[in-house]
A and B are shown apart, each in its own frame.
Chain A
Amino acid sequence: MDSLPNRSLTVAITGLAASDNPGPGVAVARCLREARGPRQTLVGLSFDHRFTGLYATGLFDEAFLIPAPAYGDRSFVQALADIRRQTAIDVLVPALDPDVGLCAATRRSLAALGIHTLVPDAAAIRRRAKSVLTPLAETVGFSAPRTVTLLSQTAMTAALRDFTLPFFLKGSFADARLVSTAEQAHAEFERLVGQWGFPLLAQERVLGDELNLTVLFNRKSELVGAVPMRKLGVTDRGKGWAGVTVRLPDVVERAGALLRSIDWVGPAEVEMIRDPASNRFYLIEINPRFPAWTYLTAAAGQNLPWAAVQLAMGREVRPFREVRPGQLFVRSVEDAFIPFDQVEALTSSRHLVLRGR
């Protein structure tokens, strides 16, 4: 429990890609800035200096480069220990799926460093994996698109026989492509295996309205907040570029029950499609982190990243009861200008002070 609940906190955030497939980190930082203004220190963590969210104007006070997740637990903890000798990070908000896994695996080591997190344990993360989603969905009355696990080229060929084109091919960790021909399916199969390894998933396409929820659970696996959003515009990669908050208490209740049943802790995004004809909700994915549209939670009256930081520090947060429907988000692109020596400093010393820029 935090003994000084009013002191200024230092919060580190990952997931800072800010391209047309943005990570959630910038949105998380915007929420925290909105809640606390300059009375906090925000630290951007990235394994790639080209993740442009690091340089977003007026957002981060400092930036550090950390090892890529593939380097594993030990490198992750060592990097954070080194950083903490320079900057006393209080809370780490992992905003990429692999970072959430790393935080779950190293939670005790991080706590020993004085770094607080609010993440589910490894078992909960496994229990919402794409490959096991169908039975989970059915426990709360959601439907799920037919999904087959692919462990070989032979399975891919069988999927082409069993599924109607177009259908989705998905990496088990991330990445999804809609394939419309057998040739495209084989090409994407090779690409996805090369990038993510086995297994892959073949999943039927469900047509309807894309409805996503950002949810937050406390350490007792109690729902603290939930903001439903309907996508109104997507990029050619299917990434949300505009959306609007909606009021769906029944869906929130069911999604909450589902995540509570797997002892969820921390933020998550529940991706669904509603068939407007039957009003059935298809559960597509559960992401173990805030989504890139998280800034909308602040506009909807539930600043969930702020709440997550409070919970991570052991502070009490009363559950949000209301969501403000009809709040529209539209995403835009911003040019940022950075002296080249700052990029050089970040890549050579792995640390950049941005405060006041």
Chain B
Amino acid sequence: MDPRFLFKEDCGDVFTLNLTGALVHRLYREGAVPEDIAQRLARSHGISPGQALGDVLAFLAQVRIHGLLAES
């Protein structure tokens, strides 16, 4: 199961991810590029690759803003 909680080590804030967010976060940390993650989501969710890519990039931007990409 993908980790659903992201803990921010410098302040103790805890962020909860939904299943899709948890999957995206794990794949990105394992080295997948946003385009590959979007392709996978497009297939599993029945949406266009373009829409999936937009969502993935928006999600990663939020995670980056909160300084959570290197932490779990």
Contacts and interface: CB of A to CB of B under 8 A. Distances in A.
Interface string A213-255: 0000000000000000010100000000001101110000000
Interface stretch (B4-12, B16-24, B48-56): B4-12
B13 to A, nearest CB: 9
B46 to A, nearest CB: 37
B41 to A, nearest CB: 29
Contacts of A209: 11-12
A209 to B, nearest CB: 7
Contacts of B12: 209, 230, 232, 243-244, 246
Interface in A41-78: none
A274 interface: yes
B53 to A, nearest CB: 32
Contacts of A230: 11-12
A35 to B, nearest CB: 25
Contacts of B9: 246-247, 325-326
A252 to B, nearest CB: 11
Interface residues of B, number: 5
B57 to A, nearest CB: 26
Nearest to B8: A246
Residue among A209, A232, A246, A276 with max Cβ neighbours from chain B (10 Å):
A246
Contacts of A232: 12
A243 to B, nearest CB: 8
A248 B10 contact: yes
A81 B11 CA distance: 46
Interface in B21-58: none
Contacts of A243: 12
Contacts of B10: 246-248
Contacts of A246: 9-12
Residue among B7, B10, B11, B12 with max Cβ neighbours from chain A (10 Å):
B12
A325 B12 CA distance: 8
B5 to A, nearest CB: 9
Contacts of A211: 11
B11 A326 contact: no
A276 B9 CA distance: 15
A195 to B, nearest CB: 33
Contacts of B11: 209, 211, 230, 246, 274, 276
Nearest to A245: B12
A98 B49 CA distance: 68
A325 B6 CA distance: 12
Contacts of A248: 10
Interface in A231-285: 232, 243-244, 246-248, 274, 276
Nearest to A324: B9
A325 B9 CA distance: 6
B67 to A, nearest CB: 12
Contacts of A274: 11
Nearest to A323: B9
A159 to B, nearest CB: 32
Interface in A198-218: 209, 211
10 contacts: A209-B11, A230-B11, A230-B12, A243-B12, A244-B7, A244-B12, A246-B10, A247-B10, A248-B10, A325-B7
Interface of A: 209, 211, 230, 232, 243-244, 246-248, 274, 276, 325-326
Given A247-B9, A276-B11, 20 more contacts: A209-B11, A209-B12, A211-B11, A230-B11, A230-B12, A232-B12, A243-B12, A244-B7, A244-B12, A246-B9, A246-B10, A246-B11, A246-B12, A247-B10, A248-B10, A274-B11, A325-B7, A325-B9, A326-B7, A326-B9
Interface of B: 7, 9-12
Q: Which 10 A-B pairs have the closest CB atoms?
A: A230-B12, A325-B9, A247-B9, A244-B12, A246-B12, A326-B7, A247-B10, A248-B10, A246-B9, A246-B10
